[in-house]
Structures are given as C-alpha cells and as structure tokens.
Amino acid sequence: MKKIFSLLIIFGFILFSTNVFADVTANIRCTLSWDGNNVNGEIEESLPVILELYEEVNIDDEIQDVLKTSLEVNGPIIDGEMPLFEITIKDNVLNSFKFFAIAKDSKNNTSEKSEYAIAEIRGEDTLPPGTPIININIQFP
C-alpha cells in the first residue's frame, strides 16, 4: 500500500522586501500527513520517521530535487506543520513552485515520492508602461 501524504501549501506570505524593483522573499508554511504505516500497510517499526519536503527546480537546464524542510515524527500525523522555509518570487513573471514529500525511517528506507503540489504566484509588475505616441493635427478655422 502506497504511503499516503497530504501536502498542503499555504501561502501565508511574509514579505521581507518592499522595494518595487527587487524580487521578494516569502515564507512558506506547509503541512504533511503520514498514516504511520510501512509500504505493506503495517505499522512502521523503524521509528522515528523523517518527513522531508523537496522542491523540484531547474538549475542550469537540469532538474534537481532541493530539500526545503523536514520534520521528525514517531507515529501517524495529520497536518503536521513543517518548519517554515523561504522562496524567492521573481518580478514580472508567473512563478511556479513544484513540491513533493518523502518519508525515511530510522533504517534509512525511503518511501516513494508523494504526489506533486504545485503553487503559482505572479511576481510584482515593475515594468513601466510603453511610451505613448503623440499625433498632432493643425486645423485652420
């Protein structure tokens, strides 16, 4: 039986920068749930289990999994609050963040990846409007 993870990304943005010409940093609050079982649906015996949250990112045209935060548990947990972590929201683009979680027991056995949770947020508009075009017509009475 596949481990069941519930991944909820709550964008409780705490902006650290208000400069309109700079990317902003925000804190991410996330919760994870784990049923306390191993892959066979039996109670996990190798405790504690570490729940790890990763972001899948593109670095130099290569997809990499970057550990963002983790939480140690000693049994089932529902909506366990993970420690906060930061993301950078780039200006003038739609920012997309792709997260997944895994569980590792004390024997270093690792679960499959959870389903992906994708969060999107548009960065600040820091681009000025285009230059107006003036047309002047001289009319004689």
Q: Which domains does the chain have, with CATH numbers?
A: 6-122 (2.60.40)
Confidence of residue 21 (pLDDT cuts 50, 70, 90): low
Could you read off the pLDDT of 94-138 as tens digits, one per residue?
Answer: 999 999 999 999 999 999 999 999 999 999 999 999 999 999 999
Under 8 Å CB-to-CB from 85, ≥6 apart: which residues?
Answer: 27, 28, 30, 53, 68, 69
CA-based torsion, 28, 64, 118, 39: positive or negative: negative
Q: What is the pLDDT of residue 99?
A: 98
For residue 47, list its beta bridge partners. Answer: none
Could you read off the pLDDT of 54-97 as tens digits, one per residue?
Answer: 999 999 999 999 999 999 999 999 999 999 999 999 999 999 99
Q: Which two tokens stand for residue 42?
A: 């039996």
Is residue 1 over pLDDT 60?
A: no
| Cis preceding linkage at 48, omega within 30 | yes
- What are φ and ψ of residue 67, in 5° steps? -65, 125
Q: What is the pLDDT of residue 22?
A: 75
How far is it, in rounded angstroms, from Cα 88 to Cα 16? 10
